[in-house]
């Protein structure tokens, strides 16, 4: 059993409370490799932002669970080296699919876990979430739950259609499970293809897709039922067009990729939405930089020469999200 506090990590309770009161959101960035982790820590430390390092079950399998834990411990030391005396870094399991996965993460030093019972019938979601909460809270580990279904891939769970969270269920769900935060469905979606062209309109000048707006009325109704309760948005990459264009111009094929407009995320950040999940934008930044570098320097075969620019591009993107979208810069408690 590894106590996350001994690794220098924090759970999400205090950072969420301050984010709701302060009208900003904490970035939850997924990572699978060293370059992503370096870029996340550099961006959040330089900007004095609390940050959630998010790890999916797939990422744990890819990177090795033990190595990941030491990487998180190293991340805390790196943030201090960069001048953050008291970094606020949470290590969070993304889309935990079972009690066993969540328990394993709690036991491995995670400070926060998500149990994703959103594809289960309501009562089963409650029972599973409560079981995880009862275990995690013994160790002061915070728990995110999900109610409502996002379209797209959620690790091993694939949903063809989304179903908005029903505001009339949230009080019962939060009370009976004891969860610390709630991921909701208001129209965001995972991956780089969040909407089909049929769901969008097209800008007549550029031909680019304009996605449908998020359901802020559903968010408002949820906040009215659960005042001050931490709300989480998954599937919140904006799929920057410049990355999609670079990828497509250098041998890639991402037709009609479309994300959530940043103005809408900015608006959500000012509400009880206090955690915003971003993974695909990091993948796009990385891939765009690697494709461009290799296309321009076909003789290059030292991975540092193309992973380095990819890391720089991700850091730039993370800094933009922190400063210009979520507003979590200069929000460390120190
Ligand atoms: O919501 C899913 C995250 O983007 C993680 O994706 O399961 O491919 O690691 P992954
Ligand atoms: P994106 O695919 O929009 O980056 O969403 C990531 C996410 O929700 C991770 O849980
Ligand atoms: Zn997600």
- Mean pLDDT confidence for 246-258: 96
**Pocket residue to mutate for ligand 1, from 153, 259, 287, most atoms within 8 A of Cβ:** 153
For 35-82, how does the pLDDT look when each residue is reduced to its tens digit (9 = 90+)? Answer: 999 999 999 999 999 999 999 999 999 999 999 989 999 999 999 999
What b-and-e string marks burial along 121-153, b requiring 16 or more CB atoms within 10 Å of the CB?
Answer: eeeebbebbbbbbebbeebebbbbbbbbbbbbe
282 touches ligand 1 (CB under 6 Å): no
Residue 89 pLDDT > 90, yes or no? Answer: yes
- Catalytic-labelled residue, pool 94, 97, 279, 281: 94
How far does residue 276's CA lie from ligand 3's centre (Å)?
A: 9
42 touches ligand 1 (CB under 6 Å): no
Query: Which atom of ligand 2 is closest in space to residue 234's alpha carbon?
Result: 8
| C-alpha span between 221 and 227 (Å, rounded) | 10
The contacts of residue 189 (CB under 8 Å, 6+ apart) are 150, 151, 152, 162, 195, 235
Q: Is 94 a catalytic residue?
A: yes
pLDDT of residue 107: 97
Query: Which atom of ligand 2 is closest in space to residue 279's alpha carbon?
Result: 4
pLDDT of residue 20: 98
Output phi, psi for 238, to 5 deg: -100, -5
Percent of the chain with pLDDT over 90: 91
For 181-229, how does the pLDDT look when each residue is reduced to its tens digit (9 = 90+)? Answer: 999 999 999 999 999 888 899 989 988 889 999 999 999 999 999 999 9
How far does residue 56's CA lie from ligand 1's centre (Å)?
A: 6
How far does residue 83's CA lie from ligand 1's centre (Å)?
A: 31
């Amino acid at each position: 059993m590894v106590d996350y506090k001994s690794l220098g990590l924090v759970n999400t309770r205090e950072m969420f409370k301050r984010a709701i009161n302060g009208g900003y959101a904490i970035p939850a960035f997924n990572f699978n490799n060293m370059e992503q982790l370096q870029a996340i820590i550099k961006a959040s430390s330089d900007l004095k932002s609390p940050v959630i390092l998010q790890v999916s079950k797939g990422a744990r399998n890819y990177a090795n669970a033990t190595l990941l834990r030491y990487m998180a411990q190293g991340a805390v030391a790196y943030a201090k080296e960069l001048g953050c005396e008291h970094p606020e870094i949470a290590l969070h399991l993304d889309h935990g699919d079972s009690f066993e996965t969540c328990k394993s993460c709690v036991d491995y030093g995670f400070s926060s876990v998500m149990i994703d019972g959103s594809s289960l019938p309501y009562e089963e979601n409650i029972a599973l979430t409560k079981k995880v909460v009862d275990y995690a809270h013994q160790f002061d580990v915070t728990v995110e739950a999900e109610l409502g279904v996002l379209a797209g891939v959620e690790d091993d769970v694939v949903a063809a259609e989304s179903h908005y969270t029903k505001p009339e269920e949230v009080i019962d769900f939060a009370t009976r499970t004891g969860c610390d935060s709630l991921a909701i469905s208001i129209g965001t979606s995972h991956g780089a293809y969040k909407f089909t062209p049929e769901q969008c309109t097209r800008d007549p000048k550029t031909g680019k897709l304009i996605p449908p707006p998020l359901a802020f009325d559903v968010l408002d109704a949820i906040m009215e039922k659960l005042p001050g309760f931490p709300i989480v948005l998954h599937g919140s990459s904006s799929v920057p067009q410049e990355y999609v264009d670079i990828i497509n111009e250098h041998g890639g094929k991402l037709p009609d990729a479309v994300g959530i407009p940043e103005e809408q995320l900015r608006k959500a950040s000012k509400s009880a939405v206090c955690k915003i999940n971003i993974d695909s934008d990091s993948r796009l930044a990385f891939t765009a930089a690697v494709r461009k570098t290799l296309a321009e320097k076909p003789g290059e075969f030292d991975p540092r020469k193309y992973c380095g620019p990819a890391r720089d591009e991700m850091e730039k993107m993370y800094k933009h999200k922190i400063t210009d979208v979520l507003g979590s810069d200069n929000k460390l408690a120190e």
